[in-house]
């Protein structure tokens, strides 16, 4: 197995375990908290995440993509991160009361104050974690992230069961952030890292200012509409929409979250070696769409049983939203490679231009739909998501020489695989007495039929993913045989 594939494997294992824990946590907390309490956490989380994006300042990405990183630059990265963390944490702390009064939700102040503790902790881990990513040390990162995910889940669920309410999520976030910083330092001790320095800060700030604007634009698109919905539709509507989005993100979290940490370091390394990234992009799109498109179609078809299983009976308004949002998310399959590819090619300005062209009109569209209800907001995503991807692809084509025809040809096999995946589930839904609201035996049959159809279509279309699967199982089989021989010899 190549070092890159090994990195992907460890990243997948890391994120898979983390997402299993997220799903279990969500399932428990959906039965402990009401939609309104969940909405309060989502609103507080929106503020914390916006602050986090200002604090991050693209410093992690800078460390990963820079050709040479010395000790002085690492100290500068820590110093800048700490200054920004103190500024943003102080701003959130001081503004928490005003935010709570604006929404007439006193508990929001308490949630935000807890969240600001994380701003004091995260700077001690960020530069070291970025250096581990740069070195493709994903085995070590997997250990850190799995430990943090276990701690987050245990604290959140434990506090929820003790009646702490929406603050349970915040305490989980704070304590898991502390654990990441501690474990990162233990695995890669950098005692001189925490000495203040601003050597080379101009270069870092030049990169970071553009990266921060890109991150903030994307985060604002994700989070500001939720804050508007909270004012117009109430905290319960925010809770319902957030859980619908979370269900639709399950394929992304299981698949893309395992790839994403590796994509930027891998592409940056290839760019430093002078490789052509167009083929890497097309290959990545084929692999991703071959899994994500069928998975999102299945989420749309099985929205009712999925919501019943994960969230429980008090979330009956979520499945119709899930069906629409899952279809809209199919347009975003190549999105996970857009930022890493453009950064690796030294085109960070294009990432900002793409965000500023597509995200403001998308956000305005969703906020304009809010007075008409959550169904209208979900329908708005059917326009917003393709718009965002079309703009991103324009900049990718310009940067790599990729043609639109090449992109669509790379998508054909995945479309065929997607069609093959849904044949049996659609037949079961058509024959069911309650349509999409399948009982558990039919749900199991739909999942089994989809898996069978996916595998057959994958082989019939000679999809690139089938080769990767064979290589993976071949590598795992070889490792198992070597282990058995070693055990026999011992």
Ordered DSSP codes for 374-433:
HHHHHHHHHHHHHHHHHHHHHHHHHHH---HHHHHHHHHHHHHHHHHHHHHHHHHHHHST
The tokens describing 397, both together, are: 């084509």
CA pair distance 409, 387, nearest whole angstrom = 20
Q: Is residue 391 part of a domain?
A: yes
Q: Is residue 343 part of a domain?
A: yes
Contacts with 99 (C-beta within 8 Å, 6 or more apart), sequence order: 47, 108, 109, 112
Burial of residue 79 (CB within 10 Å: 0-12, 13-18, 19+) is buried
The tokens describing 28, both together, are: 């428990």
The tokens describing 487, both together, are: 């055990």
Burial of residue 473 (CB within 10 Å: 0-12, 13-18, 19+) is exposed
Domain that holds residue 81: 1-248
Q: Is residue 267 part of a domain?
A: no
| pLDDT score recorded for residue 94 | 92
Contacts with 76 (C-beta within 8 Å, 6 or more apart), sequence order: 197, 198, 199, 200, 201, 204
Q: Is residue 486 part of a domain?
A: no
Number of helices and strands (H, E) in the chain?
A: 20, 0
Of 228, 248, 268, the domain-final residue: 248
Q: Is residue 265 part of a domain?
A: no
Task: Name the DSSP letter for residue 233.
Answer: T
Q: Is residue 255 part of a domain?
A: no
| pLDDT score recorded for residue 321 | 94
- 286 and 159 within one domain: no
CA pair distance 185, 128, nearest whole angstrom = 7
- 301 and 232 within one domain: no
The SS3 of residue 196 is coil
- 216 and 69 within one domain: yes
- 45 and 137 within one domain: yes
Burial of residue 405 (CB within 10 Å: 0-12, 13-18, 19+) is exposed
- 289 and 424 within one domain: yes
The SS3 of residue 155 is helix
Task: Name the DSSP letter for residue 334.
Answer: T
| pLDDT score recorded for residue 218 | 76
- 281 and 242 within one domain: no
Nearest to 329 by CA among 364, 287, 293: 293
Q: Which residue has the tokens 């890497």?
A: 280
- 442 and 396 within one domain: yes
| pLDDT score recorded for residue 371 | 87
Q: Where are the alpha helices (DSSP H) in 249-330?
A: 250-272, 277-301, 303-310, 318-329
Residues 335, 261 contacting (CB under 8 angstroms): no
> pLDDT tens digits, the chain, 490 residues: what are they?
555 556 666 666 767 787 788 888 988 888 888 888 888 888 888 888 778 777 777 777 777 767 677 778 888 888 888 888 888 889 999 999 998 898 888 888 999 999 888 888 888 888 888 888 777 777 788 888 889 989 999 999 999 999 888 899 999 989 988 998 888 888 887 777 788 888 877 877 777 777 777 777 777 777 667 777 777 877 788 888 888 988 898 887 766 665 555 555 566 666 666 667 788 888 888 888 888 899 999 999 999 999 998 888 778 889 999 999 999 999 988 887 887 788 778 787 888 888 889 988 998 888 888 888 889 989 999 999 999 999 999 999 998 888 899 999 889 989 999 999 999 999 999 998 888 888 899 999 999 999 999 999 988 888 877 776 776 666 555 555 665 565 555 5
Q: Which residue has the tokens 């324009």?
A: 394
- 244 and 321 within one domain: no
Q: Is residue 485 part of a domain?
A: no
- 210 and 170 within one domain: yes
Residues 239, 377 contacting (CB under 8 angstroms): no
- 117 and 55 within one domain: yes
| pLDDT score recorded for residue 4 | 55
- 465 and 374 within one domain: yes
- 319 and 234 within one domain: no
Quote the distance between the C-alpha of residue 252 and its chain's center: 7
Nearest to 394 by CA among 353, 336, 363, 444: 353
Q: Is residue 263 part of a domain?
A: no
Separation of first and last alpha carbons in the chain: 25
Residues 176, 25 contacting (CB under 8 angstroms): no
Nearest to 233 by CA among 50, 382, 103: 103
Domain count of the chain?
A: 2
Q: Where are the alpha helices (DSSP H) in 189-274?
A: 201-232, 235-248, 250-272
């Amino acid at each position: 197995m190549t070092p890159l594939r090994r990195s992907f494997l460890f990243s997948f294992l890391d994120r898979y375990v983390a997402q299993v824990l997220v799903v279990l946590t969500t399932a428990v907390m959906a039965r402990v908290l009401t939609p309104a309490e969940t909405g309060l956490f989502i609103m507080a989380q929106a503020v914390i995440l916006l602050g986090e994006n200002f604090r991050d300042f693209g410093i992690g990405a800078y460390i990963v993509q820079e050709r040479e990183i010395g000790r002085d630059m690492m100290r500068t990265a820590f110093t800048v991160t700490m200054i920004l963390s103190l500024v943003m944490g102080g701003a959130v702390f001081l503004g928490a009361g005003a935010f709570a009064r604006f929404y007439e939700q006193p508990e929001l102040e308490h949630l935000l104050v807890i969240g600001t503790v994380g701003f004091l902790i995260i700077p001690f881990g960020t530069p070291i974690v970025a250096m581990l990513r740069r070195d493709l040390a994903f085995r070590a990162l997997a250990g850190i992230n799995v430990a943090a995910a276990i701690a987050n889940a245990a604290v959140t669920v434990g506090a929820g069961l003790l009646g702490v309410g929406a603050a349970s999520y915040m305490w989980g976030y704070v304590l898991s952030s502390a654990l990441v910083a501690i474990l990162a330092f233990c695995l890669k001790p950098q005692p001189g890292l925490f000495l203040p320095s601003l050597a080379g800060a101009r270069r870092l700030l030049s990169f970071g200012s553009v990266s921060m604007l890109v991150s903030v634009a994307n985060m604002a698109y994700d989070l500001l509409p939720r804050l508007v919905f909270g004012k117009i539709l109430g905290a319960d509507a925010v809770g319902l929409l957030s859980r619908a989005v979370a269900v639709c993100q399950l394929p992304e979290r299981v698949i893309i979250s395992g790839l994403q940490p590796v994509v930027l370091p891998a592409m940056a390394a290839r760019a430093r070696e002078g490789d052509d990234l167009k083929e890497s992009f097309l290959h990545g799109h084929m692999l991703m769409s071959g899994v994500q498109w069928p998975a999102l179609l299945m989420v749309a078809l099985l929205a009712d049983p999925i919501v019943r299983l994960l969230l429980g009976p008090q979330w009956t308004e979520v499945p119709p939203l899930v069906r629409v949002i899952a279809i809209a998310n199919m347009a975003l399959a190549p999105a996970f490679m857009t930022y890493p590819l453009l950064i690796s090619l030294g085109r960070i300005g294009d990432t900002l231009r793409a965000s500023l062209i597509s995200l403001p009109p998308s956000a305005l569209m969703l906020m304009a739909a809010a007075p008409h209800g959550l169904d209208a907001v979900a329908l708005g995503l059917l326009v917003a998501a393709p718009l965002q991807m079309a703009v991103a692809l324009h900049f990718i084509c310009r940067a790599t020489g990729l043609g639109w025809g090449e992109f669509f040809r790379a998508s054909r096999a995945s479309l065929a695989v997607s069609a093959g995946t849904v044949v049996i589930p659609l037949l079961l839904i058509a024959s069911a007495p309650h349509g999409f609201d399948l009982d558990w035996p039919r749900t199991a049959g739909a999942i089994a039929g989809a898996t069978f159809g996916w595998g057959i279509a994958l082989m019939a279309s000679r999809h690139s993913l089938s080769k990767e699967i064979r290589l993976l199982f071949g590598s795992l089989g070889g490792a198992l045989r070597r282990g058995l021989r070693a055990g026999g010899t011992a």
